[in-house]
Amino acid sequence: MIVGIGLDLAEVRRYRFDERRLAWFARRVYTDEEMAYAMGKRHWPERLAGFFAAKEAARKAFGQAIPWRAVGVTHERTGKPALHFFGRYTELTRERGVRIVHVTITHTETTAAALVVLES
């Protein structure tokens, strides 16, 4: 049964950070894995926007403010994204009776979007 959904859009231009802002976001918002993934790509602002949209979509789906670095996007070998929870949020899915967390991300030059669906 679907027990939560969250959708979010992010404007890519807001994620074209200069060096100082990039370092701040790397410390406060993105996981090390997200940073490594994004910065390995030519169009990294699109990736950072997509990851931010995924974090916001997760907040909406769960209906609570999960700290930015407590939820992060990882990738399966096929490229399919997945959400992982860290720190004291590792148990969030179990506590909320969520068995599967679905996430999908898309991005263009201007916009990124993410959808999160929670299944019990």
Ligand X SMILES: CC(C)(COP(=O)(O)OP(=O)(O)OC[C@H]1O[C@@H](n2cnc3c(N)ncnc32)[C@H](O)[C@@H]1OP(=O)(O)O)[C@@H](O)C(=O)NCCC(=O)NCCS
Q: Annotate 6-45 with DSSP letters as a single string.
A: EEEEEEGGGG---HHHHHHHHHHTS-HHHHHHHHTSTTHH
Q: What six digits make up the tokens of 26? A: 């790397």
Only one of the segments 15-23, 57-65, 83-91, 101-109 lies at the binding site for ligand X (rule: CB under 6 A); that segment is 101-109
Residue type, 20: R
Q: What is the largest CA-CA distance in the chain?
A: 44
Under the binding rule (CB under 6 A), the answer on residue 55 touching ligand X is: no
Angle of CA points 59, 119, 99, to nearest 5°: 95
Residue from 35, 105, 116, 117 touching ligand X (CB under 6 A): that is: 105
Under the binding rule (CB under 6 A), the answer on residue 59 touching ligand X is: no
Only one of the segments 11-19, 23-31, 74-82, 91-99 lies at the binding site for ligand X (rule: CB under 6 A); that segment is 74-82
Residue from 106, 110, 119, 120 touching ligand X (CB under 6 A): that is: 106
Selecting among 60, 80, 84, 102, the annotated active-site residue is 60
Provide the minimum distance between the beta carbon of 88 and ligand X in the complex, in angstroms, as a whole number. 26
Residues marked as catalytic: 60, 107
